[in-house]
Structure formats: C-alpha cells, structure tokens
C-alpha cells in the first residue's frame, strides 16, 4: 500500500528482485490477489490484474493501481493497521508526521482548526485579530455589493 499512499504503481508477480523471471505457479492467483486487497487493505481499493504469458511459457502477473485518493491506505494484519510509504525502492512504515500529512491529503485532517497545545485566548495578538476581522468584514461587504448590483452598474461605480 506504500505505492497507493505515494503515486500508484505496478507490482510484478513472478519476477524476482534481481529481475529474473521465475513465473507464477498458482492457478487462482487473481482471486488470491483480490482477496488480499479486500481483506488486508483499508480503505478498500480495487487493483487492475492481468497475466502475461512470455514466449518461454512462463506467466507473469501485473497488479496495477493508481495513486489513492482516500489516503492513508493501511495494511491490516495481526490486529494492527500499519501505514507504509514508498521511499526509493523500499516500503517503510510511515512516521507520525508522514501519517498526519497523508490524513491531510486524504481530507481527513484539517490542521488549521486543531488546537495549539500550550496556548489560550490570552496568547492571541488582539491587534492582529482585530485587523483580520476588519479585513474579512470588508471583503464580505465588497462581495455582497458586487452580487447585488448588475455588472454594468458596478463597472460605472468603479
């Protein structure tokens, strides 16, 4: 799932790490792959599975999937849910900071509304806050005025 948490990709089954083609032996490999994705990956994603028969008769399976949009994708096993990221040619457990970024990319974490530890209302710069609220109010009034007048009237006022 490191690839889904990154940019998507392909997994070649029947090809060793050194590039040697060993071929696949399992007859029900497609069903097995789909069951693994169903049972071990959350949220669920459906990969594209295809088998290629090489001239020497060996079969290679290609499991393809796009970059996930419901990040983070976790691998469920032994009562745990682990989040992996692709780093170069390896898959590594995501750090806490990397997990937070994945949650934000998936739209599940909005850091701008989270409390900041060790702060209170007394910590706020009241002059900056007042200035911010005045600017927001001015923008709101400007947008309301533009929506209430036809374009030609607004253009004439400018």
Mean pLDDT within 4-28: 91
**Residues pairing with 62 in the sheet:** 12, 50
pLDDT of residue 59: 96
Binned at pLDDT 50, 70 and 90, residue 131 comes out as very high
Q: Does residue 21 carry a pLDDT above 60?
A: yes
| Domain 8-113 indexed as CATH 3.40.190.80 | no
Q: What is the mean pLDDT of residues 56-72?
A: 90
Predicted local distance difference test score (pLDDT) of residue 144: 76
Mean pLDDT across 19-23? 94
Mean pLDDT calculated for residue range 9-32: 93
Question: Between 63 and 154, where is the model more confident?
Answer: 63
Residue spans per domain, the chain: 8-113, 121-149
- The distance from CA 148 to its chain's CA centroid, rounded to whole angstroms, is 40
61, 24 Cβ separation under 8 angstroms: yes
pLDDT (tens digit per residue) in 79-102:
999 999 988 888 899 999 988 888
Q: How far apart are CA 65 and CA 1, in angstroms?
A: 10
Q: Are 21 and 58 in contact (CB under 8 A)?
A: yes
What pLDDT score was predicted for residue 63? 95
Residue 60 burial (10 A CB sphere; 0-12, 13-18, 19+):
middle
pTM: 0.62
- Judge whether 73 and 8 are in contact, CB under 8 Å: no
Q: Are 68 and 83 in contact (CB under 8 A)?
A: no
Q: Higher confidence at residue 61 or residue 87?
A: 61
Neighbours of 128 (CB within 10 A): 9
CB atoms within 10 A of CB 72: 25
Nearby residues of 67 by Cβ (< 8 Å), 6 or more positions away: 4, 6, 7, 8
């Amino acid at each position: 799932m490191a690839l889904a948490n990154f940019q998507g990709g392909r997994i070649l089954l029947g090809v060793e790490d050194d590039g040697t083609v060993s071929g696949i032996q399992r007859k029900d490999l497609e069903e097995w792959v789909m069951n693994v994705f169903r049972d071990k990956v959350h949220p669920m994603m459906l990969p594209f599975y295809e088998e290629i028969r090489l001239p020497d008769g060996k079969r290679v399976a290609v499991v393809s999937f796009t970059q996930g949009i419901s990040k983070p994708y976790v691998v469920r096993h032994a009562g745990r849910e682990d989040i992996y990221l692709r780093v170069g040619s390896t898959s590594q457990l995501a750090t806490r900071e990397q997990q937070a970024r994945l949650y934000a990319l998936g739209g599940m974490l909005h850091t701008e509304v989270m409390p900041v530890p060790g702060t209170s209302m007394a910590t706020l710069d009241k002059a900056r806050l007042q200035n911010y609220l005045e600017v927001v109010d001015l923008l709101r009034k400007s947008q309301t005025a533009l929506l209430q007048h036809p374009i030609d009237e607004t253009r004439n006022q400018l």
